[in-house]
Amino acid sequence: MTIPAFGLGTYRLTGQTVIDSVKTALQLGYRAIDTAQIYKNEADVGQALAESGVARDQLFLTTKIWTHNYAADKLIPSLRESLSKLRTDQVDLTLIHWPAPGNGVELREFMTALAEAKRAGLTRQIGISNFNIELTRQAIEVVGKGEIATNQIELSPYLQNRRLADFLGEQGIAVTSYMTLAYGKVLKDPVLAEIASKHQASVAQVALAWALQLGYAVIPSSTKRENLASNLLARDLRLDEQDMARIAGLERNGREVSPAGLAPAWD
């Protein structure tokens, strides 16, 4: 995998809340941090990173370009602004946040600009987020095979996205799972609770371990130290074939996020 398997998400966290979350996570051993322009927290994340004492070369930073900045004359300037807020000369990964098919900027234009950002040294790797199979194909055509590091997609035991995940695997594109706990809905699932009890683990650890064992990267978020620490333990949890089969049976196309105008036609 070209990206870390386990990272910290910062969606919906701002101000001192996200500063504390990032600093605590780094104290616990997290080294990958995921943010985005639209989260309005890049400066807070940058402050937390600066105050953490962790060397930049030990960190993996991801940000995402927002739809307002997709035009060829806006994408790179907006990324430079993100870098300034994050207090770094380069991020490790920059994603197109949503395909936004109706926003007036063609996919070829923003993917070309994203590739230019990589050539300019502003980001080590590039990728996409919330792209379906067809749009991923189109993105590959623009930037070339092997250039897209990941597609960050909503994926949980209730939304397993198998067709898309299989396609990404065939293309050598890593899957990054966000919303792996489905806004907390999976935490009340009786099947997951049984598996958790069997392994003396938490339900959250089971859901995260399931995604990790399928080869996906995960970026759970939390504001509580005990949850941040507990989530990390998912890396050491090994589910057996029966566990994985039972979780596979939880698929219900339970999508939580599909904003009009931003989302594609889902596979």
Beta bridge partners of 33: 8, 61
CA distance 181 to 207: 7
Q: Is 229 left (phi over 0), alpha (psi -120 to 50) or beta?
A: alpha
Q: Look up residue 192 and give its amino acid.
A: L
Token pair in block for residue 237: 């949890």
Query: What would you report as the CA-atom Rg of the chain, rounded to the nearest whole angstrom?
Result: 18
Query: 3-state DSSP call for residue 178?
Result: strand
Find the Cα–Cα–Cα–Cα dihedral 136, 145, 153, 181, rounded to 10°.
Answer: 150
Distance CA 140, CA 5 (A): 23
Q: Which residues are annotated as a binding site for substrate?
A: 97
- Tell me how far apart the alpha carbons of residues 135 and 72 are, in angstroms, rounded to a whole number: 19
3-class DSSP state of 150: strand
Contact of 59 with 30, CB cutoff 8 Å? no
For residue 174, the tally of other CB atoms under 10 A from its CB is 21
Measured between alpha carbons, how far is residue 198 from residues 146, 186, 214 in Å?
Answer: 40, 17, 20
70 is an active site residue = no
Residue with tokens 């099947």: 191
Q: Which residue in this structure is represented by tokens 């990206």?
A: 3
Q: Which of 30, 39, 70, 216 is catalytic?
A: 39
Catalytic residues: 39
